[in-house]
Amino acid sequence: RQQHMSKQVKQGGGGRAKLVSSEDLTPEGFRWLRLNRLSYVDRRGSKRQWESAERTTRGSSGVDAVAIYARCVYWQKLNEDGGDDVGASATGGGLYTKAEKLVLVSQFRPPVDSTVLELPAG
């Protein structure tokens, strides 16, 4: 088992989350998957643990994923000047355009030791 230690993390609230260590827990003989136990300090200074799994079959591009998401599609009323009127109902008169939005969350993820934008889950 290997263990990687990063720089010491200053304790205290209001800071940035930071990965402290990563321990390889992959059972012998695993060919396609690597298991890790990560220790990190959250932005409030609390010590946390995270378990992660990584595929070992990524190509040189580093991409090996599928993303499925829900689209929020709605009718948006246009003002006379061509701008949008967000609270408008599609049943009244006037010009409308189809609009689309996607919800993302910003969250610290220990496996990449960084804050990432991701699709909400759970």
pLDDT in tens, 8-60: 334 445 688 999 999 999 999 998 889 999 999 999 999 999 999 888 877 77
pLDDT band at residue 1 using 50, 70 and 90 as cut-offs: very low
How many residues belong to the chain?
Answer: 122
Q: N- to C-terminal Cα distance for the chain?
A: 32
State the DSSP H helix or E strand holding residue 105, giving kind and residue range, or none if neither. strand 105-109
pTM over 0.95: no
* DSSP summary character for residue 32: S
